[in-house]
Amino acid sequence: MFGKQLGLAVVSLLALHQNLALAQTIVVDGETLPADEVTIAPAEEAVEIPESTTLFPEEVAQLTDSVLANLTELELSNISLFSFDDEEDDENSILEKRTLFGPCKTYPGDLLYPGKLSWDVFKLLLGGRLIKTVPFASVCYDDFGNFDQARCNFISANWINNSYIHIEDPTSINAVLFEGGNCLPQALDPTATNCRVGGLPSYVVDARNVAQVQLAVNFARNLNLRLVVKNTGHDFGAKSTGAGSLSIWTHNFRKVQFFQNHRADGGYRGPAFKVGAGVPAFELYEAAHRHGVTVVGGEGATVGVMGGYILGGGHSPLSGLYGMASDSVLSFEVVLANGRFVTASATKNPDLFWALRGGGGSTYGVVTSVTVKAYPKIHVSTLTFELMTTPTVTADQFWAAIRAFFEGFVEYAVDNANYEYFRLTAMGPGAFYFDMGPWFAPGMTSDELRVLVAPLFARFDAIGVDYSPVFRDFDNYRDAWAASFPLEPWGSNFIRQASRLFPRANWEDEAKLNATFDAIKSTVEEGNYVIAFNIHAAPAAGYPDTAVNSAWRDTVMHCIAAAMWDPAAPEPVIKAASDTLTFDWMQRWRDVSPGAGAYMSESDYIEPDFTQAFWGTKYPRALQLKKKYDPRDVFYAQNAVGSEFWEMSENILGNLPSQNSRLCRKN
Ligand SMILES: Cc1cc2nc3c(=O)[nH]c(=O)nc-3n(C[C@H](O)[C@H](O)[C@H](O)COP(=O)(O)OP(=O)(O)OC[C@H]3O[C@@H](n4cnc5c(N)ncnc54)[C@H](O)[C@@H]3O)c2cc1C
Ligand SMILES: *[C@@H]1O[C@H](CO)[C@@H](O)[C@H](O)[C@H]1NC(C)=O
Ligand SMILES: *[C@@H]1O[C@H](CO)[C@@H](O)[C@H](O)[C@H]1NC(C)=O
Ligand SMILES: *[C@@H]1O[C@H](CO)[C@@H](O)[C@H](O)[C@H]1NC(C)=O
Ligand SMILES: *[C@@H]1O[C@H](CO)[C@@H](O)[C@H](O)[C@H]1NC(C)=O
């Protein structure tokens, strides 16, 4: 009876899903009903349409007023749970709605938290695409009834070195520390005795079409649930998780479509890709390679391109030529906080278009696809080398060589659009190691690169260090990228990162460069593991005005610091290591770069004055647009625009907001 009605409701939703393969069926009250599934093979290429972008089939399946009207006609109770929010809220009505629910997002166990029936109805409307969270490493424990030693062994062995396995899981995240490490394999957390959902979402919508994203946004907003968005889960700031939340998993928005002669409404004419929000870097690079073009993306193979990366700005080995990845965006398709599905481009919702480029993930809406410019195929040369202290190379010689390298930063990145990715670490008292991998020179041959670095190598020779350079040539970006960036580690509970964008001005004055160099060197001597980029993301040809951190355009070095500890150490020892990172090492970096900033997507979880650090002069407008597009704060993430008005009810190590606690508005 009830089931049949719901079945009709699902069928009514399906009526809209033209062009979709209705592949799956679900069983309700003994009846078999079709479910709205779009079958998408990963990286499958859609049919080519030469001139302009259209919606992907999964974007044609939308929740509309007439679909809701049909559901109401079927007398499906509580359909208001799924309805849009089209009220023009003034301050008073927003406050009234807030008072209705109290200061906190509704949490499991609260009186107003939806009961089983509501979740069941929701699941039916989603065509079955609702997952109750089962943590990735639960197979290592008895708590979820799925203990499996062989699978546990596999996950344990691959946890850190194989991020491919995590991006296939609906809730696995990189930033396990801030979730509380509630379900780590024993191999990573020898003290662990059980597995809990902890700071992971309670439920996940495995979204395959826009209608499902809209239903999730409406359901979360109307019920005051915490809403999170997970793509790959790579975010260092635990932005893609939260206790008691409903999560939208964008992983299966996976199409890539190429346009040889795209006509964008902002005036651009030329090659472009329309890319689903779930596409990871390796797949996009592959597609660009097949079409003989280049597309701007990051270095991590499994990191998403059209999710948190591009929304956060996105730096790239190609930034010297093409700026931030978000500078190449032509349009976004996005589900807003009110549930409506819109386009953001130079002419459609241009203020939203501004905000989505650099304003950050999980802030203004859920993006389902992005259209980006493609560039001509490009020659790339690369260089790798190592420097280290040895019985014949002293620490002084080592640091003199590093200093010589630093002195060239403006020449390499600003004048030559090069990108150098290097690491710097202490191997023991007075023993240091540096590795350059890669020095990436887009548009240059290795002969040209040799000429560029010849003065540096002459200084290395004069200082007396060994470095054994390896030069390579590639006739395309994809091959250069694949050969240069090995897969990077997934998160663990014994590391915390922070970062700083160092401005070019620090290179224009010897005293400032001395201070900058000493600030970095002193932290490495104390155990800081530095991962840094000589990069300049402000090409001479220009770049658009967007929400990207204004500090980025002056930057010549993006420098990441990492503090590590023994996870079995007593808590005060761990806390001291964690606090040293933010309040000692990073303070030295901030002191030598006053008014500069930091890159939100690779940042300190508790960056002081984060709104200034992550957006600089762009913050007031980014916040104004947050209030315009999400007046009821449907979206929240740690360190996102507008998050300064919220707090978690509990902390880890005394000052790290715990994602395994309640999210409440500050009063
Ligand atoms: C190994 C590694 C390498 C990296 N390399 C680079 C690099 O070269 N350059 C660089 O700039 N950054 C780099 N980063 C940082 C990277 O940009 C961020 O981790 C980014 O948040 C990843 O986005 P994601 O969508 O893959 O991850 P997720 O953790 O799934 O999402 C990140 C954030 O974006 C939100 N989000 C995701 N998808 C959507 C969507 N469709 N709509 C709305 N919100 C969404 C999430 O809610 C979350 O807030 C790297 C990170 C790692 C771990
Ligand atoms: C509403 O339901 C009717 C009858 O089932 C169906 O023909 C129509 O296509 C539906 N409309 C929408 C927008 O789903
Ligand atoms: C509908 O919602 C109201 C208020 O939340 C609740 O009292 C009622 O039990 C719900 N009915 C159903 C069928 O879920
Ligand atoms: C990760 O390490 C495990 C165990 O050492 C190994 O079996 C596996 O092949 C590695 N995976 C990758 C992707 O390197
Ligand atoms: C910078 O440091 C070098 C090396 O320590 C020193 O010789 C030089 O005088 C310093 N310059 C300034 C302006 O402080």
58 C-alpha vs ligand 2 centroid, how far in Å? 19
- Residue 650 has what pLDDT? 98
Query: What is the pLDDT at residue 335?
Result: 98
Q: Which two tokens stand for residue 205?
A: 């919508």
Cα-based distances in Å from 385 to 388, 439, 528, 561: 10, 9, 21, 21
Residue whose Cα lies nearest atom 13 of ligand 1: it is 298
Q: Tally the domains of the chain.
A: 2
Q: What's the CA-to-centroid distance between 131 and ligand 2, angstroms?
A: 27
Q: Which ligand is nearest to the CA of 344?
A: 1
Inform me whether the pLDDT recorded for 17 exceeds 60. no
Residue 631: which H helix or E strand, with range?
A: none
Cα 484–chain centre separation:
21
Beta strands in 197-242 (DSSP E): 203-206, 227-230
Tell how far the Cα of 510 is from the centroid of ligand 5, in angstroms. Answer: 7
What residue's CA is closest to ligand 3, atom 13?
Answer: 77
* Ligand 3 probe mutation, 6, 74, 77, 111, most atoms within 8 A of CB: 77
DSSP state of 616: G
Position in ligand 3 atom list of the atom nearest CA 115: 14
Examine the fold and report which residue of 575, 595, 610 is the final residue of a domain before the chain moves on.
610
pLDDT at position 76, please? 66
- Write phi, then psi, for 581 (nearest 5 degrees): -60, -55
Residue identified by tokens 């809220």 is 89
pLDDT of residue 591: 98
The rounded Å distance from CA 72 to ligand 2 centre is 12
Once rounded to an integer, what is the mean pLDDT over residues 581-592?
Answer: 98
Which residue ranges have their beta carbon within 6 Å of ligand 4?
Answer: 157-158, 161-162
Domain end among 587, 610, 633: 610
Measured CA to CA, the distance from residue 122 to residue 219 in angstroms comes to 8
Distance (Å, rounded) from C-alpha 263 to C-alpha 660?
Answer: 46
514 CB near ligand 5 (under 6 Å): yes
Domain boundary at 610, 625, 649, which?
A: 610
CA-to-CA distance for 234 and 298, rounded, in angstroms?
A: 12
Claim to verify: residue 307 and residue 444 sit in the same structural domain: no
User: Which tens digits make up the pLDDT trace of 23-37?
Assistant: 233 222 223 333 332
- pLDDT at residue 95, as a whole number: 83
Question: To test ligand 4's pocket by mutation, which of 156, 159, 161 has the most ligand atoms within 8 angstroms of CB?
Answer: 161
Q: Is-contact 234 304, C-beta < 8 A? A: yes
What is residue 377's three-state secondary structure?
Answer: coil
Lowest average pLDDT, out of 5-14, 322-331, 557-566, goes to 5-14
Looking at residues 281-304, what average pLDDT do you find? 97
Q: Whose CA is nearest to atom 32 of ligand 1?
A: 308
On whether both 484 and 521 belong to a single domain, the answer is: yes
Q: What mean pLDDT, rounded, does the chain reach?
A: 91
Whether 42 has a pLDDT exceeding 70, the answer reads no
Q: Are 390 and 466 in contact (CB under 8 A)?
A: yes
Residue nearest to atom 4 of ligand 5 (CA): 514
639: left (phi > 0), else alpha (psi -120 to 50), else beta? left
Can you give the C-alpha Rg of the chain in angstroms?
25
User: If you search the block for the tokens 């002081």, which residue do you land on?
Assistant: 608
pLDDT in tens, 520-539: 999 999 999 999 999 999 99
Residue list, ligand 1 pocket, CB within 6 Å:
174, 228-236, 239-240, 250, 277, 298-300, 303-304, 307-309, 311-312, 314-315, 361-362, 366-367, 488, 601-602, 637
Q: H/E element holding 622?
A: helix 619-629
Give me the mean pLDDT over the 161-170 stretch. Answer: 97
For 217, the enclosing helix (H) or strand (E) is helix 210-222
Q: Which of helix, strand or coil describes residue 218?
A: helix
Give the H or E element holding residue 470: strand 470-474
The predicted pLDDT at position 4 comes to 38
Distance from Cα 304 to the centre of ligand 1, integer Å: 6
Tell me the mean pLDDT in the region 140-160.
Answer: 97
- Looking at residue 38, its pLDDT comes to 26
Q: In this structure, which residue's CA is closest to atom 9 in ligand 4?
A: 158
Cα separation, 202 vs 636, in Å, equals 16
The least confident of 53-57, 96-100, 491-495 is 96-100
Cα of 366 from ligand 2 centre, angstroms: 27
Amino acid at 537: A
Could you tell me the pLDDT band of residue 73, with boundaries at 50, 70 and 90? Answer: confident
Q: Which atom of ligand 1 is nearest to the CA of 236?
A: 19
Question: What are the Cα distances from residue 127, in Å, to 32, 409, 441, 532, 656?
Answer: 12, 54, 49, 46, 38
For residue range 601-654, list pLDDT tens digits in order. Answer: 999 999 999 999 999 999 999 999 999 999 999 999 999 999 999 999 999 999
- Could you tell me what percent of the chain has a pLDDT over 90? 84
17 & 69 share domain: yes
For residue 281, give the ligand nearest its CA: 1
Q: What CATH number is attached to the domain comprising 193?
A: 3.30.465.10
Mean pLDDT of 213-221: 97
Q: What ligand has the least distance to the C-alpha of 518?
A: 5
260 ligand 2 Cβ < 6 A: no
Please check whether residues 434 and 286 belong to one and the same domain. no
- 136 plus 90 within the same structural domain: yes
User: Can you name the residues that pair with 130 across neighbouring β-strands?
Assistant: 205
Residue of minimum CA distance from atom 15 in ligand 1: 601
Tell me how far apart the alpha carbons of residues 151 and 131 are, in angstroms, rounded to a whole number. Answer: 20
In the predicted structure, residue 44 carries a pLDDT above the cut 80: no
The answer to whether the CB of 16 is under 6 A from ligand 2 is yes
Q: In this predicted structure, what is the pLDDT of residue 77?
A: 55
Q: Give the number of the ligand closest to the Cα of residue 14.
A: 2
Integer Cα distance of 400 and 404 in angstroms: 6
pLDDT, tens only, 466-504: 999 999 999 999 999 999 999 999 988 999 999 999 999
551/299 Cα distance (integer angstroms):
21
Ligand nearest to the CA of 73: 2
pTM of the model: 0.92
Hey, which of 71, 78, 101, 123 would you mutate to test ligand 3's pocket, going by the most ligand atoms within 8 Å of its Cβ? 78
Tally of CA atoms within 13 A in the half-sphere of 148 that contains its CB: 11
Ligand in nearest proximity to the CA of 10: 2
Q: Give the number of the atom of ligand 5 that is nearest the alpha carbon of residue 514.
A: 1
Q: Is 373 found in the same domain as 430? A: no
Considering the domain architecture, whether residues 369 and 386 belong to the same structural domain is answered as no
| Mutate-to-test residue for ligand 5 from 510, 513, 518, highest number of ligand atoms within 8 A of CB | 510
Using pLDDT thresholds of 50, 70 and 90, give the confidence band for residue 52.
low
Residues flanking ligand 3, CB < 6 Å: 77-78, 117-118
Nearest protein CA to atom 13 of ligand 5, as residue: 511
Pick from 234, 140, 232: nearest CA to 189: 140
| Same domain, residue pair 268 and 220 | yes
Which one-letter amino acid corresponds to residue 128? G
User: How many percent of the chain have pLDDT more than 70?
Assistant: 92
What's the rounded Cα separation, in Å, for the pair 490 and 146? 23
Same domain, 492 and 401: yes
Residues 135-142: what's their mean pLDDT? 98
Residue 78: predicted pLDDT: 63
Residue whose structure tokens are 């580690």: 489
- The finding on whether 71 has its CB within 6 A of some atom of ligand 2 is no
Domain limits for position 433 = 380-610
Report pLDDT for 190.
85
Residues 169, 48: Cα–Cα separation, whole Å: 30
Q: What's 567's domain CATH number?
A: 3.40.462.20
Query: Do residue 353 and residue 387 come from a single domain?
Result: no
* Ligand 2 neighbour 62 (Cβ under 6 A): no
Atom of ligand 2 nearest to the CA of 64: 13
| Ligand 5 mutation pick, 402, 403, 506, 514, max ligand atoms within 8 A of CB | 514
Q: Which atom of ligand 2 is nearest to the CA of 13?
A: 14
Tell me how crowded residue 9 is: count the other CB atoms within 10 A of its CB: 23
Judge whether residue 66 has pLDDT over 90: no
DSSP string, 510-578: HHHHHHHHHHHHHHHHTT-EEEEEE-----TT-----SS-GGGGGEEEEEEEEEE--TTS-HHHHHHHH
Ligand nearest to the CA of 509: 5
pLDDT tens digits along 343-369: 999 999 999 999 999 999 999 999 999
Read off φ and ψ for residue 188, nearest 5 degrees: -95, -25
| Together in a domain, 54 and 92 | yes
- If you average pLDDT over residues 84-95, what whole number do you get? 84
Closest CA to 219 of 202, 236, 234, 235: 202
CA distances (Å), origin 187, targets 166, 193, 362 = 16, 12, 32
**Statement to judge: residues 47 and 137 lie in one domain:** yes
